[in-house]
Amino acid sequence: MAPQPSTPRAHPERPPAGHAETSSPATVITTTGARLLAVLRICVGFVFLWACLDKLFGLHYSTVGEKAWVNGGSPTKGFLSGVAVGPFESLFHDWAGATWANWLFMLGLGAIGVAAVTGVALRIAAGSGTAMMLLMWAAEWPLAQTTSAGEPSGSTNPLIDYHIVYALVLIVAALTQAGNTWGLGRIWQSLPVVRGNPWLR
């Protein structure tokens, strides 16, 4: 019996220009989209990193030199002691200027900033950054229209403010592996300790 001609195998279509090569047809992010996510990740990371540096050295933006942490100032006292809204007002006043609060706040700002800018440990950055942003959201309590003294709170939106937006950016960056583009994400994820502990990614 003569051999039957083999059916030619269909070659998968190459993705259109501008689309990232992926093994999953469900992936819809484009190369341009990945780059924009990387820019967004770096920008938000720089927000955290700059806040840390300004409070640490007093770069004369939100923090003057004499109030820098290196000069004996407190990174948390001014903000937390000024809380005048919400159900946690007295709690934040108790935390204001505490040594543990200063260290946690500054380490958090610095670590989240470095992680987001470099694209490493984005899951940890997303978790800790979200926790920090929710605490700061609670301190400003945008739900309130007036302060505890009866004055206008200045809130422009009862739910969504920049703290929520920053938290969402960190979460999206972690879930989309945005550190792989213009970052050290691939190198970080290739480390044995990270491969064995996915929560470190």
Q: Residues 98, 104, 108, CA angle at the centre, nearest 5°?
A: 145
34 and 15 in contact (C-beta within 8 Å)?
A: no
How far is 98 from 75, CA to CA, in rounded Å? 10
- What is the residue whose two structure tokens read 């820098």? 68
- What pLDDT was estimated at residue 13? 44
- What pLDDT was estimated at residue 105? 98
Output the six-digit token pair for 97. 């200027």
- What pLDDT was estimated at residue 11? 44
Output the six-digit token pair for 130. 């979200």
- What pLDDT was estimated at residue 8? 46
165 and 136 in contact (C-beta within 8 Å)?
A: no
- What pLDDT was estimated at residue 28? 74
Mind listing the pLDDT tens digit of every residue in the chain (201 residues)?
555 554 444 444 444 554 444 444 456 789 999 999 999 999 999 999 999 999 999 999 999 999 999 999 999 999 999 999 999 999 999 999 999 999 999 999 999 999 999 999 999 999 999 999 999 999 999 999 999 999 999 999 999 999 999 999 999 999 999 999 999 999 999 999 999 999 999
